[in-house]
Amino acid sequence: MIDNQIHLAREILRLRLSQLLINERYKARDFRVPIHLALGHEALAVALAEIMRDGDQILLPHRNLHYNLARTHSLKAIVAEFLLRKTGLARGKYGSMNLFNAEQGVLYASGILGNNLSVSAGVALAEKVTGSGAVTFVVTGDGAMEEGAFYETLIFLAGQSLASVVVVENNGWSLASRIDERRAPIDVERLAQGCGAGYRKLAGNDVFVYADALEQVRGDATNGKRPVVVEVALKTLGDWRQPTEEFPDGKYINYHAGPAPTTSVAPWPLLAADASDPLHVLCGHFGEAALKAEAETMLAALRKDVA
């Protein structure tokens, strides 16, 4: 158990440092493909990757870097993909938004909001038809769930009794618009239950809590032969303030895609001293000193990997 906890903690560090290294090269204009960093999403990705079993599949949206890093233990292969090299994870043919790794169960990724939900319904149906016993995971967001595909997929999954986990990364933003700017609030729990799906809410960025909860959710989906919606409250870090004529003290810019200009790689990669940063939460388990030492060693190894 302790060994596994250390493993998960290292994974969080690896995902954070890997993204920061990518961000540095992005800022240096090394990449031409659009990349959506997922700083602050690491605990969820690590926990999900941890509880997936052999044969399980995950279908991702355009912000997929954290899951690809979690399921692919090679930053080098992902950087090569972003550089569109043949040595890339997908032979340099898919870039970022459609990046997949079928060998590791990352079956498909879509650049279009809601698109992967519909495809996941077919994957879940295939598992039922073939009797594989595998569970299909699909990741979406609070913006994509506004698409009709979210509702269509839920009623199909529930109607066909398909074991599936629908993860909603709720960061409160769709590009530059907040939820309260674009729509009425949606009670995801009632929506899910109204469609015949289960529901679980996660918050707090504790990777150990998330892993336990997602393991239970996987069991619920399998035993109940139904979809379960997991709504995860999180914050996409990397935001900044940009001074303008109208906002001389800086206009708040929510991070959506591209390089995060004010975020830099550092031996200790903490980005926020609160629960919005999974690393901060991790300090509550292991203490900052131990994690700092681990981070320093890991950063050196990652730099060497992509040198």
Q: Which is nearer to other proteins, 149 or 265 (CB)?
A: 149
Binding characters for other proteins, 90-109, by CB under 8 A (x = yes): ---xx---x--------xx-
Pairing of strands 251-253, 240-242: antiparallel
Name residue, tokens 């690491």.
Answer: 42
Q: Which is nearer to other proteins, 129 or 184 (CB)?
A: 129
List helix spans (H) across 28-170: 42-51, 65-71, 75-82, 115-130, 148-159
Q: Which is nearer to other proteins, 111 or 204 (CB)?
A: 111
203 binds other proteins (CB under 8 A): no
Spatial separation of the C-alpha atoms in residues 194 and 61, rounded to whole Å: 24
Q: What number of CA atoms fall less than 13 Å from residue 92's CA on the CB side? A: 8
Backbone angles phi, psi at 251, to 5 degrees: -90, 135
Binding characters for other proteins, 123-162, by CB under 8 A (x = yes): xxxxx-xx-----------------xx--xx-xx--xx--
Binding characters for other proteins, 42-71, by CB under 8 A (x = yes): ---------------x-x------------
Minimum CB separation from other proteins for residue 226, in Å? 16
163 binds other proteins (CB under 8 A): no
Minimum CB separation from other proteins for residue 73, in Å? 22
300 binds other proteins (CB under 8 A): no
222, 50, 235, 184: CA torsion to nearest 10: -10
Q: State the distance between the two ends of the chain, measured CA to CA, in whole angstroms.
A: 34
